[in-house]
Structure 1
Amino acid sequence: MHGNRQNTAPAAPQNQPQPPQPYFVQHDFGGPSDLTTTLVHALSDVTGADVTQAESSLCNYVDPASLDRLFEPAPDGTQRPNGHVSFTIWDHQVTVYHNGQIAITPPANTQPA
């Protein structure tokens, strides 16, 4: 006679570090701010850095004017086609999407919990 056995995976160790969760923000292309302004404020929120520090540092990683123009709506108001741009700033992975969504993922915690 065979016993009832379930195939179960062993439990993960409780001290295993969790992957960092991305921070999302949505830029409003119809609003008064540029895409990079939304990005700078999001970086400030995630990192705790002053907005002016985030703004001046952004220039070392990407051309803000080019980023603003890359995904701005066409002159007739239609949204740009699919696409995204990714770069790393202060060890945070930043991805900006054609629809104005911005994802900022902090670095993985290398310290044991």
Structure 2
Amino acid sequence: MNERANTVETPITDGRVSEAVIHAISRVNGVDPLELDSPLYDTIDPDALDRLFQPTPTAARDIKSSVSFTVAGCEVTITDNRVVAAKRLSPVDT
């Protein structure tokens, strides 16, 4: 895997949000998920992230929310509609 993109958006249809984050970061950096330089848990608690974005019984939410953080040279944003966006940062941004 060596194709790189500046930004990757990934809907989370099933599985763990933390896994979708790892896959988005690996796609942006053009590496296999197992070859990432920075483990996700060095930046944010993957279990807490998964709990925060667990599907709710109803689609309606009173509060719109998102979480953003920087890991492995990427800015990652997860929205409450269960989309992960990973954007590769330039060396000046990191």
Which residue of the partner structure matches residue 26 of structure 1? 11
Find the aligned partners of 2:71 and 2:35 in 1 and give their Cα distance: 12
Report deviation, 1:109: 6.4
Residue in structure 1 matching 2:58, options 64, 74, 78: 78
Where 2:67 maps in the other structure, the secondary structure is strand
Which residues of 2 match residues 61-76 of structure 1 at below 5 A? 61-74=43-56
Aligned sequence identity (%):
31
Query: Is the counterpart of residue 94 in structure 1 residue 76 in structure 2?
Result: yes
Q: Can you give the 5+ residue segments of structure 1 that lack an aligned partner in the other structure?
A: 1-19
- How many residues get paired? 86
Aligned-residue Cα RMSD (Å) equals 2.4
Where 1:78 maps in the other structure, the secondary structure is coil
Report deviation, 1:34: 0.8
Report deviation, 1:21: 4.4
TM superposition score normalised by structure 2: 0.76
- Higher share in strand: 2
Q: Can you give the 5+ residue segments of structure 2 that lack an aligned partner in the other structure?
A: none
TM superposition score normalised by structure 1: 0.64
Find the aligned partners of 2:87 and 2:47 in 1 and give their Cα distance: 23
Q: Relative to 1, partners in 2 of residues 1:22 and 1:48: Cα closer, same or farther, differing over 3 Å?
A: closer
- More relative contact order, 1 or 2 (CA 8 Å, 6+ apart): 2
Which residue of the partner structure matches residue 40 of structure 2? 58
Query: Is the counterpart of residue 106 in structure 1 residue 88 in structure 2?
Result: yes
